[in-house]
């Protein structure tokens, strides 16, 4: 018989949103690829429950690839936003209120 999944709860993890350290059992898995059910070859990050509740849980489709293409975290804020807006417009059309 397989061991209980509860055995991983003793580990301590850090919330990627607020930086709080908490027991694994009190955290929620975050999969930057948006598919936490496919577990092969992945390392998950974690969110505390309050930070997880504050997130939008709608599908992210191409968001991670878009952020990488816009070089998120590799340039200053203004340059990133310019690149991001240009990429969104190229891929999805003009940015305008609907």
Q: For the segment 27-44, what is each residue's pLDDT rounded down to a tens digit?
A: 998 877 666 677 787 788
Q: Which long-range contacts (CB under 8 A, 24 or more apart) does 75-83 make?
A: none
DSSP 3-state of 17: coil
Residue 7 pLDDT? 45
Cα-to-chain-centroid distance, residue 82? 21
Residue 42 pLDDT? 79
Domain ranges of the chain: 10-54, 63-92
The sign one gets for the Cα dihedral 86, 90, 69, 85 is: positive
Tokens matching residue 32: 């930057």
Instruction: List, for the chain, all residue ranges whose pLDDT scores fall below the cut of 50.
Output: 3, 7, 9
Closest CA to 22 of 50, 57, 42: 50
The pTM of the full predicted model, rounded to 2 decimals, is 0.50
């Amino acid at each position: 018989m397989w061991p209980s999944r509860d055995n991983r709860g003793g580990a301590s993890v850090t919330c990627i949103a607020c930086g709080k350290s908490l027991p694994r059992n009190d955290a929620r898995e975050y999969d930057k690829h948006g598919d936490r059910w496919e577990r092969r070859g992945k390392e998950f990050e974690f969110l505390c429950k309050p930070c997880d509740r504050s997130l939008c849980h709608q599908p992210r489709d191409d968001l991670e690839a878009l952020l990488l293409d816009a070089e998120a975290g590799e340039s200053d804020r203004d340059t990133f936003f310019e690149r991001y807006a240009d990429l969104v417009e190229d891929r999805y059309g003009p940015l305008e209120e609907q």
